[in-house]
Each structure stands twice: as C-alpha cells, then as structure tokens.
C-alpha cells in the first residue's frame, strides 16, 4: 500500500500540493486527472522520492520513501517521468536492460535477459531493439521508456502522462498493457492522464486534483460527471453512458 | 547502425596502439633506433630511464583523460564537457600554485593532493552553476566551463605575478612528456587504479547519463555517485597536470568518437575509450617528436590544435543529439 499522509509542497509563494492524504492499496489501475498545474506530476514526483515535501510523509508498504534504502524502494516502486533527456547514447536493449538494475546491480542473468526481451515485445519494439534511442521517433522512445519501467517489475509502477507522443493505436495498446499489468496479482499501476475518456475506460479508480488539492476520488462512474467538467476542467459538456462506460462529450 | 561490438574496429585500435608503443620506444632525439634496439652504448639506459617511462606515462595519461571525459559527460549530461571545458584543469593549476605559494618545499604527493582537492571544488562549482543557470542550449554548458576555467586561470596568473612564480606555472600550462624520466612519473599509476574503479562501476555511470530521476528510480544514490565520479576526474586531472602538464581535449574527442560507433553503455565502451585516449596521446607525442626532429613539439600544443578542430567538428556535427 502507498500511504500519503498530509503532504504539502510549496515553491516560493505558490502551494503546488496542499495537505494531500491518500491511500493506494495493492492491485488495479489508478488514474490521476486534473487540469494543467493541478499538482499531478508533483504528487507523482514526491511519491517516487524525486521531490522532497515541505510537510507530511509518503510510505510504500510501510517504508518511508525519504529514509528507506534506494535499492529496496526501487524493487517496490518504479516511475516513468514525462521528460526523459538521456545524454548517454544507448540502444533500446541497453535502456530496457537497465530497468533490471535494482535486481541485478548491472550484472544481468539469463532471467534478466528474458524479462528484458518480454518487456520489449510488450511495447512492440522487437525490431528496434538494437537501434539507438536517438534514431527513434518520439513515440518509439516513449515506448522504450515504458518497457524499461516494465522490466523493473516493481509492485507499484507510476507513469506520468505515458501517452504523450503516441498515436491512437499505440495509446490504446499502451493502456491495454497497463490494464493487464494492473490485473496481475499484487501489481498496481498509477497513471497521470489528461484524457478523461481514457481514464474512464481503463482505470478502476480516478483521483481528481485541482490547485494542489484532491477534489475527487472513486470509481469512474462516481467521479466523472458534468459537475467535474464545469467545476474542475471549466468546460461545458455531457457525460454519456455507452455500454456502462462513461464518455465525455465537450460542447463546442 | 547497430550496437553490436565492432570486432574489426576494436582490433584496429589495439594494433595501432601496439605499433605506436613500438614507435614511441625507438623514436627520439640523440639516439638512433638501431642503437636503442641493439641496446648498444647507452641504448639500454635510454630505453629504461626515458623511453619506457615516457611511453607508460603517455598511455596512462591518455587513458585517464579520456575516461575522465566520458565520466564528466555522463555526470553533466552534456557531450561537450571534459576536464578542460569544466574548470577542472584550471582549478588543479590553481591548487598547484597555492601549494607552491604556501608550502614551497612540499613533496609532490602533497602538491597532487591539494591540486586534486581544488580541482574537485572547482568541478563541483561548475556543476552547481549548471544547476542554477538557465541554459538555453547544450553549447552553453562548455562555455560556462571555459569561462569558469578562465577565471581560475586569471586568479592563478595574478597570484603568480604578484609572488614572482610565473615561471613555475608556465610548466603546467602545456603538457610535455619530454620531462618524463624513471622516478618522475610513477604517480601516474594511480590513474590505472582509478580507471579500473570507473570500469567496475561502469553500469552506474551509464545510468547517471540517463539523469537524476532515472538514477534514483532504479535505486542509486545519485549524489554519492556524482561525488565518486568527480573524485576520479579530479584526481586523474591533478596527477596528469602535476606530472606532465595539461593535455586538453582528449576527454572530448575520444568519448564522442567511441560513442558514435559503439554507443555509451560504459560496460561495453569504457575499455575502448581508455585505449582510444592512450592511442591519441601516444600518437600526438610520437608525432611531436618527429615533426621538427631533433626538437620536439609538446603534446599539449599538438592536442590543442587537433582538439580545437575536433571540438568545432563536434559542435557542428553532433548538435542534433547533444541537446
């Protein structure tokens, strides 16, 4: 379980996270949605110990993320960030293999090699495995980073806007992949998303952020409604049920 | 282009290095190569006291500087950084001057230690500047380093001028291996140990090149690893500058060329980077002994010429994926 206890984060005068408390038990797919600047990425960044909080604490299965050893945490929690600037000139194979680092400390076993191959095939980059990252398109590079996170095989996988740069085909196959991950026993996927329809279609639980606070939390059917559109996203629109799934249609 | 190791290229590098080692042993003023080979007259002495030490010094310095370059590039996540474009060399020079000034009789090892510590502080200052400054372009990074180096240089020159030490600092301005003799280069063996340490942690330094977030994400202690890398770079730089003087641009050219061919998984590329550095410095020195024989052109000067040209090629050619 990821436990977030009254965390706050300020940059100068601006409060980006304001006393957020949240518990994410094991299993399933959790979507985090909210308008730009709501604090979604910062929340993810704090959960993955890349940003320090001003107050409150985060623990993963009881381990305080600021105190537990990095290696211990890396086997429980993986994160894929939005910006992935890599100075090292690496092949897809190299990059994904480094996802196994928490398990093998840089000395791959045969099992590691198999996991890496599986991760690469899950994102459909088998043909590109020997290409350097700088020879790939933005979407392919994005998928390579997803594969690296898959190879890390952590109990909790966090993704910040993983669908950026992806066309609709790859976006859908990526979300199906996350769904499959979240359905495995003991695995939890937490994804920051900006498309409400995608969140409604694939997440078990949706957390809504606005101005650094949590303003909604629950299954898609309870969270996604006209009030969410007007009050949080400031658009007028309808929420339609298609085959029991919530679909947002924004007024022109 | 794929990343499978290029056996042919690797062989070529090793063969070229072996040939140059042989050339370095038989090339030089005063003694014909036949005398040296036949070990006649002073041939044996020349070989043991001068040529062998000089060749080893060239190999060690070249390997160390090239490895320092790739480590700096992973740490700063910028392709144009190496000890001479990050303020490291110049701060080592400042350290040497401070030792001459405050402890004129101090043994070489003390001078190296202090040079290494000042170089470490200088490089850390460089990294701090990078994290504070808004850098619009990848090219800004080496510019900041060169400017910082210029400031260290100015302080060194001013102090040297005030305390009448200008002649002493002239010596470490430009790397010159003609001064290498048995008994005067042995500290360079520290480099072998440091290169081995870098190789043992090659996977970690590769991850460093993927950025702080990835490094922390896979469970590395980011700050400790950066500090470890900077210590390696600073000690290598200080030992080279104190023993033979500055040899610029080795750490820039070699890692970039190797990266284009083999990529940057340091577990795979570091041995080639080290050998390539040794090859380049050795080749420059042998060339410097031949061009105006029986006189010599110092390696520092030759590398300055080759290096600045190479730097320009890199800037124009690699801008694409340097950002």
Read off the pLDDT of residues A137-174 as tens digits, 9 standing for 90 and up. 888 999 999 999 999 999 999 999 999 888 999 999 99
Neighbours of A33 (CB within 10 A): 27
Comparing CA positions, the residue from B131, B130, B156, B152 lying closest to residue B143 is: B130
- pLDDT score at B177: 86
Query: Is 70 exceeded by the pLDDT of residue B40?
Result: no
Euclidean distance between CA atoms A103 and A112, whole angstroms: 8
Please give the interface size between A and B, counted as residue pairs whose CB atoms are below 8 Å apart.
102
% residues pLDDT > 70 (chain B): 91
Question: B76: which 2 tokens?
Answer: 């700063």
Q: What is the mean pLDDT of chain B?
A: 88
Contact A106 B259 (CB under 8 A): no
Its pTM stands at 0.90
Question: How close is the nearest chain A Cα to the Cα of B174, in Å?
Answer: 30
The residue-averaged pLDDT of B74-98 equals 92
Contact A86 B220 (CB under 8 A): no
Question: How close is the nearest chain B Cα to the Cα of A198, in Å?
Answer: 26
Q: Which residues, 6+ apart, have CB-to-CB distance to A134 below 8 Å? A: A89, B320, B321
Give the CA angle between residues A244, A246, A249 to the nearest 5°: 135
Parallel/antiparallel/unpaired status of strands A188-192 and A205-210: unpaired
Contact A81 B216 (CB under 8 A): no
- List CB contacts (< 8 A) between A98 and chain B: 203, 206-207, 210, 214, 218
Query: Is 60 exceeded by the pLDDT of residue B323?
Result: no
Mutate to test the interface with A, among B210, B255, B272 (most CBs of A within 10 A): B210
Residues 44-83 of chain B whose Cβ lies under 8 A from any Cβ of chain A: 73-74, 76-79
| Relative orientation angle of helices B250-262 and B52-76, to the nearest 10 degrees | 70
Comparing CA positions, the residue from A135, A161, A159, A132 lying closest to residue A147 is: A159
Q: DSSP string of A130-181?
A: TSBGGGS-HHHHHHHHHHHHHHHT-SEEEEESTTTT--HHHHHHHHHHHHHH
As a residue count, chain B comes to 323
Question: A14: which 2 tokens?
Answer: 């601006």
* Domain locations in chain B as residue ranges: 7-318
CA atoms within 13 A on the CB side of B155: 16
The residue-averaged pLDDT of B177-182 equals 85
Which ipTM value was assigned to this complex? 0.89
Comparing CA positions, the residue from A229, A99, A79 lying closest to residue A152 is: A99
B7-318 folds as ABC transporter involved in vitamin B12 uptake, BtuC (1.10.3470)
Q: What is the DSSP letter of A235?
A: -
Give the tens place of pLDDT for each residue, B267-320.
999 999 999 999 999 999 999 888 887 788 989 889 989 988 988 888 787 654
Give A229-235 contacts, CB < 8 A, sequence gap 24+.
Answer: A232/A34, A232/A35, A232/A208, A233/A35, A233/A196, A234/A35
Neighbours of A136 (CB within 10 A): 17
Contact A130 B2 (CB under 8 A): yes
Euclidean distance between CA atoms A146 and A157, whole angstroms: 10
The dihedral over CA atoms of B92, B95, B100, B103, expressed in degrees to the nearest 10, equals -140
Residue with tokens 């949590």: A214
Q: Which residues, 6+ apart, have CB-to-CB distance to A74 below 8 Å? A: A101, A102, A152, A154, B217, B218, B219
Weakly modelled stretches of chain A, pLDDT under 70: none
Q: What are phi and psi of A5, to 5 degrees?
A: -120, 100
pLDDT top residue among B136 and A248: A248
Query: From A79, which residue of chain B is nearest by alpha-carbon distance?
Result: B217
pLDDT top residue among A127 and B179: A127
The dihedral over CA atoms of A176, A180, A181, A182, expressed in degrees to the nearest 10, equals 100
Contact B263 A74 (CB under 8 A): no
Query: Is 50 exceeded by the pLDDT of residue B2?
Result: no
Contact B187, B255 (CB under 8 A): no
Q: What is the DSSP letter of B187?
A: G
Query: Is 80 exceeded by the pLDDT of residue B152?
Result: yes
| Relative orientation angle of helices B140-162 and B88-102, to the nearest 10 degrees | 20
- pLDDT score at B81: 93
Cis peptide before B294 (omega within 30 of 0): yes
| Helix intervals (H) in A185-242 | 196-202, 220-223, 226-231
Comparing CA positions, the residue from A147, A149, A143 lying closest to residue A172 is: A143
- pLDDT score at B271: 95
Give the tens place of pLDDT for each residue, B103-132.
888 888 999 999 999 999 999 999 999 988
Question: How close is the nearest chain B Cα to the Cα of A91, in Å?
Answer: 7
Contact B207 A79 (CB under 8 A): no
Q: What is the DSSP letter of B161?
A: H
- pLDDT score at B230: 95
Parallel/antiparallel/unpaired status of strands A28-33 and A205-210: parallel
Burial class (CB in 10 A: 0-12, 13-18, 19+), B124: middle
Query: Is 70 exceeded by the pLDDT of residue B36?
Result: no
Contact A74 B217 (CB under 8 A): yes
Measured CA distances, B296 to B56, B71, B250, B293, B301 (Å)? 18, 32, 20, 6, 11
Contact B2 A131 (CB under 8 A): yes
Euclidean distance between CA atoms A195 and A168, whole angstroms: 12
Comparing CA positions, the residue from A80, A96, A104 lying closest to residue A192 is: A80
Comparing CA positions, the residue from A154, A195, A152 lying closest to residue A175 is: A195
3-state secondary structure B92-110: HHHHHHHHHHHCCCCCHHH
């Amino acid at each position: 379980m990821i436990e977030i206890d009254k965390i706050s984060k300020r940059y100068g005068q601006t409060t980006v996270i304001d006393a957020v408390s949240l518990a994410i038990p094991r299993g399933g797919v959790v979507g985090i949605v909210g308008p730009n600047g709501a604090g979604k990425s910062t929340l993810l960044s704090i959960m993955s110990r890349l940003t320090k909080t001003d107050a409150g604490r985060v623990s993963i299965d009881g381990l305080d993320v600021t105190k537990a050893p990095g290696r211990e945490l890396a086997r429980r929690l993986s994160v894929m960030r939005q910006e992935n600037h890599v100075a090292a000139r690496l092949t897809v194979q190299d990059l994904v293999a480094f996802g196994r680092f928490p398990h093998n400390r840089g000395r791959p076993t045969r099992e590691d090699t198999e996991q890496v191959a599986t991760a690469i095939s899950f994102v459909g980059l088998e043909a590109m495995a020997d290409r350097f990252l700088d020879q790939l398109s933005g979407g392919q590079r994005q998928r390579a980073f997803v594969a690296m996170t898959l190879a890390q095989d952590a109990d909790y996988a966090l993704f910040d806007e993983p669908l950026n740069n992806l066309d609709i085909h790859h976006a859908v196959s990526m979300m199906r992949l996350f769904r499959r991950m979240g359905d495995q026993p003991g695995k939890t996927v937490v994804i920051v998303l900006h498309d409400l329809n995608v969140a409604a279609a694939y997440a078990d639980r949706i957390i809504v952020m606005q101005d650094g606070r949590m303003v909604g939390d629950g299954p898609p059917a309870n969270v996604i409604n006209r009030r969410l559109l007007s009050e949080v996203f400031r658009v007028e629109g309808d929420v339609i049920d298609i085959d029991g799934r919530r679909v947002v249609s924004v007024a022109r | 282009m794929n990343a499978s190791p290029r056996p042919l290229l690797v062989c070529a590098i090793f063969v070229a290095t072996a040939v140059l080692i042989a050339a370095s042993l038989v090339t030089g003023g005063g003694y014909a190569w036949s005398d040296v080979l036949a070990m006649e007259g002073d041939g044996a002495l020349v070989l043991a006291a001068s040529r062998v030490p000089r060749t080893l010094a060239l190999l060690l310095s070249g390997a160390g500087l090239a490895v320092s370059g790739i480590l700096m590039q992973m740490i700063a996540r910028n392709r144009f950084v190496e000890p001479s474009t990050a303020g490291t060399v110049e701060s080592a020079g400042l350290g040497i001057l401070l030792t001459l000034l405050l402890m004129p009789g101090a043994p070489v090892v003390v001078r190296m230690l202090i040079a290494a510590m000042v170089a470490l502080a200088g490089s850390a200052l460089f990294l701090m500047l990078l994290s504070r400054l808004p850098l619009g372009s990848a090219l800004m990074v080496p510019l900041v380093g060169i400017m910082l180096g210029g400031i260290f240089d100015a302080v060194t020159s001013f102090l040297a001028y005030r305390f009448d030490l200008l002649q002493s600092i002239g010596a470490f301005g430009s790397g010159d291996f003609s001064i290498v003799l048995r008994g005067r280069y042995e500290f360079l063996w520290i480099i072998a140990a440091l290169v081995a340490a870098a190789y043992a942690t090659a996977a970690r330094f590769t991850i460093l090149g993927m950025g702080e977030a990835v490094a922390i994400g896979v469970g590395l202690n980011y700050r400790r690893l950066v500090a470890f890398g900077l210590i390696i770079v600073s000690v290598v730089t200080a030992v080279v500058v104190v023993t033979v003087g500055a040899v610029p641009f080795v750490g820039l050219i070699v890692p970039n060329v190797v990266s284009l061919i083999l990529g940057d998984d340091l577990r795979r590329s570091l041995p080639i980077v080290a050998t390539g550095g040794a090859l380049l410095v050795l080749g420059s020195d042998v060339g410097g002994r031949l061009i105006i024989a029986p006189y010599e052109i110092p390696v520092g000067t030759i590398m300055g010429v080759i290096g600045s040209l190479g730097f320009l090629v890199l800037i124009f050619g690699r801008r694409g994926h340097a950002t």
